[in-house]
Structure 1
Amino acid sequence: MTRRTRWKAAATFAAAFAAASVSATTAAAQDYQRHAIDGNLPVFAPALKARLAFPLAWTPAVKDLPAWRAAGRAKLWEVTLQDRDDTPFAPQVIAEIDRGSYVARQVVFNLTAVSRVRALLLVPKAKGSHPAALMLHDHGGRFDIGKEKMAEPWGDEARLAASRTWADKYFSGRYPGDELARRGYVVLVADALGWGDRGPLTGDAQQALAANFFNLGSSLAGNMALEDTRAAAFLASLPEVDRRRVAALGFSMGALRAWQVAALSDDVTALVAVNWMATTDGLMVPSNNQLRGSSAFQMLHPGLLRHLDFPDAASLAAPKPALFFAGAADPLFPLPSVQQAFGKMAKVWQAWHAGDKFDTRILPGGHAFPREAQQQAYDWLDGQFGRATKP
């Protein structure tokens, strides 16, 4: 091959290589994300979900259960972004009404160092110390009533009418708090931030409120968790209450609050959670509320799911007596995911040798706490507290 021929061959190869490089570069330039959001999720959500290993969840390898619980509780408190609060409660009764076997009071007290609130307190007339229940109201997208969803109000006709509508819709026309008071329980129910006295809040405003909690170095969901532990401590401190028998009972968002406060607080000794439990994976499905923001901000702690799934966090309440209800046709909590969560929690109670203290029941209906379920819950609670059940 002559020098000229070699030169032409080299030039041809160089031109071909350059053309190929341009073609490859052009192809690479076209290979990028054309859209990144799909159904309120980033398109790489499956990759993020795959990283959720929940390393603080209980496993059979756990040998020191108290140490495991302490570590889990410490992490749960950490992600609430809340400071310890030992503010004196300084309670004051501002109104009272006789309801036969019990009295209903409006009591004002320091829920935290920065929030003094009005709550409803139902107290049996019988002498002695009584079992007690911290009643935790739901979300429901209705903010004009909060505590009035769980206990009958008085002195405000608009709230009374709204509360009766709520009771008819979800509780078979009953007030869960008043039903327990008739059974001899001291009952406390307060407004969560945004509801009742502590509004006004709207569904659309929840995202801004949550963002501004973050702007203030705090958390909306964490504030709720702190307030619920404080309410439990206040209830347990009352002279009418047997502090060994203090239950947390809630429906819907209130159910999450019930198992959460039982996990965080030694003042709560039993829990009843109605219609809020599932795995994260089971909740992250199209159309589920968990993916919509709004109410989800009330129930999500930043970073929690890097450490514990929802049933793992609830299991920190073990070995306390715990009763969980779910609706077979509840559109918010898919039944397979609920059953998976229940199975996971049951193993933790069994590890504590307290399997008989963990009970789950699937209701035939949807998202409600009907009369029959209430009867089951109250009979179960009486049994856990060593009381004879009442009809």
Structure 2
Amino acid sequence: MNESKKQSTNYSRRDFLGISTAGVLGMVAESALGNNIPVDKSVFPDYEAMKKTINENVNLIGSYGQWASEKMRDSLPAYSFRRKEWNNIEAWRIAAKNKVLESIASPDLGEIPEVKVNKQYIYDGLQVEEITWQLPYGMPTEAIVLKPANSKERLPGVLAFHHHGADKYFGKRKIVRTNNSPHPHTVDSQQQYYDGIAWANEIAKRGYVVLVHDAFPFESRRVLLKEVPEFLRGDLTDNESEKLENVNKYNRWASEHEDIMAKSLFCAGTSWPGVWVAEDLVALDILCARQDVDADKVGCGGLSGGGMRTVFIAGLDPRVKCAVCVGLMTTWEDFMLNKSHTHTWMTFAPVLPKELDFPEILGLRVPLPTLVLNANEDDLFTLPGMRHADEILKAVYEKANASERYRASFYPGGHKFGREMQKEAYAWFDKWLK
């Protein structure tokens, strides 16, 4: 690793080591969604309809919705770059990042762990590595690295994030394919969300080193049933046969267990986004340290839960030179009033909306290139919420004189990262990393 890479990595770790956990149990308070930015009705036609819905108290928290929404819209969030007092972009970025890190309270994971290469082989024109590393807690993290077979030169790197999908039995395997007999569940998942495409393989074929690792607590990092009290697991066991029936049973149990996990993480002085960020930064360290990766040309992206991880990692770490967030973009107000019930605990951090609106977390990377891909009929968000998030990010990039480095696209259909969306994502990575 050259000196510039060391400095970049150490800076990221210093950010995390200095974080206070005092604010973890604070209450979500004033943020600003509607705020002082004029709304362009030509690109945000449903804004008035959304406001009308709020005024009618038709929302997830009933009569409290209008009060909470008005409270949020009293002013822009304290660390919004759209506020007039933030004129120095670097001073703003440092202050805002520190607030995000304080809110999510990431654990300190220490130095970069040793990486073990367990298996290497060629599949479908790609060199495949199955690797592991051990974090200070839990089972070893398993990951897959893909790159064009027989490539000799250093290549751009992509940290590819798998989705959530109420499926914790699988993680990395949801977006890769390494043999001709994939598990039926991952085949169905790729068909549902990716038009049958293992997108990590496809972008690797274009000339990238792609790393896909299991997030906490998915696949190799999942919670084992034998390690929780009997009253929580019932008659379920850690059956490793991977029969579809066993996979579905585990996924139902793991979904119900999320409430307990989230509460327990709060009690530990951290948060689910904080743990995700800490572990994903280790994966980024490992990708950037590889001899076959050009660490100055690294991107990240993913769908849904992978999009949420993109928001945080791309927003917080400048080593990510290009970001593609898919199917995970709206505002805190949209979550609060309409869609928190469609999302995992992994999305939420107390106090954070007081500091930045949700899209502004991703906006911390301005002026670095950022693509957001949305689906008009995505049930996880309202279309007005997605449109409003786009307006916020546009305003951030315009203020930084970097409008050409931000783009949001809206596709017909529901929650997915389909073939046409993938083509746009690959072209965006090619444009900025090659």
Match of 2:70 among 36, 44, 50: 50
Q: 1:81 and 2:133 equivalent?
A: no
Q: CA deviation at 1:213?
A: 1.1
2:265 and 2:334 map into 1 onto residues whose CA distance is 28
Q: 1:261 and 2:313 equivalent?
A: yes
Q: TM-score, normalised by structure 2?
A: 0.75
Give yes or no for contact 2:303–2:327 (8 Å, CA) kept in 1.
yes
Match of 1:93 among 89, 109, 117: 117
Q: Does 194-203 or 273-282 show the bigger shift?
A: 194-203
SS at the partner of 1:342? helix
Equivalent position amino acid for 1:207 in 2: D
Match of 2:341 among 291, 304, 312: 291
Equivalent position amino acid for 1:151 in 2: V
Q: What's 2:284 paired with?
A: 232
Q: CA deviation at 1:257?
A: 0.8
1:325 and 1:87 map into 2 onto residues whose CA distance is 34
Q: Does 348-357 or 179-188 show the bigger shift?
A: 348-357
Q: What's 1:241 paired with?
A: 293
1:352 and 1:84 map into 2 onto residues whose CA distance is 32
Give yes or no for contact 2:177–2:198 (8 Å, CA) kept in 1.
yes
Q: What's 1:326 paired with?
A: 374
Using the aligned pairs only, state the percent identity: 25
Bigger Rg, structure 1 or 2: 1
1:373 and 1:132 map into 2 onto residues whose CA distance is 20
Give yes or no for contact 1:172–1:370 (8 Å, CA) kept in 2.
yes
Which residues in structure 2 correspond to 1:100-139 (within 5 Å)? 100-110=124-134, 112-115=135-138, 116-124=140-148, 125-139=150-164
SS at the partner of 1:118? strand
Match of 1:361 among 409, 412, 419: 409
SS at the partner of 1:269? strand
Give yes or no for contact 1:284–1:291 (8 Å, CA) kept in 2.
no
Q: CA deviation at 1:188?
A: 0.7
1:253 and 1:209 map into 2 onto residues whose CA distance is 17
Equivalent position amino acid for 1:379 in 2: A
Q: What's 2:36 paired with?
A: none
1:344 and 1:45 map into 2 onto residues whose CA distance is 22
SS at the partner of 1:87? coil
2:299 and 2:284 map into 1 onto residues whose CA distance is 9
Give yes or no for contact 1:248–1:259 (8 Å, CA) kept in 2.
no
Q: What's 1:220 paired with?
A: 272
Q: 1:168 and 2:188 equivalent?
A: no
2:90 and 2:220 map into 1 onto residues whose CA distance is 39
Q: Deviations over 1:107-140 (max 9, x none)?
A: 0124x43353111111333111101111111111
SS at the partner of 2:360? helix
Q: CA deviation at 1:60?
A: 5.3
SS at the partner of 1:59? coil
SS at the partner of 2:92? helix
Q: What's 2:328 paired with?
A: 276
Q: Which runs of 5+ in 1 are unaligned?
A: 1-37, 387-391
1:348 and 1:96 map into 2 onto residues whose CA distance is 44
SS at the partner of 1:88? coil
1:121 and 1:246 map into 2 onto residues whose CA distance is 14
- Higher RCO (C-alpha under 8 Å, 6+ residues apart): 2
Q: CA deviation at 1:385?
A: 1.6
Q: 1:300 and 2:352 equivalent?
A: no
Equivalent position amino acid for 1:172 in 2: D
SS at the partner of 1:373? helix
Q: Deviations over 1:155-197 (max 9, x none)?
A: 9x6x622211111111111101000111111111111112112
1:44 and 1:373 map into 2 onto residues whose CA distance is 38
Give yes or no for contact 1:130–1:242 (8 Å, CA) kept in 2.
yes
SS at the partner of 2:260? helix
Q: What's 2:35 paired with?
A: none
Q: What's 1:374 paired with?
A: 422
Q: What's 2:176 paired with?
A: 151
SS at the partner of 1:189? strand
Q: TM-score, normalised by structure 1?
A: 0.83
Give yes or no for contact 1:283–1:334 (8 Å, CA) kept in 2.
no
Q: What's 1:309 paired with?
A: 357
Question: What do you get for the CA RMSD once the two structures are aligned?
Answer: 2.1
1:384 and 1:88 map into 2 onto residues whose CA distance is 27
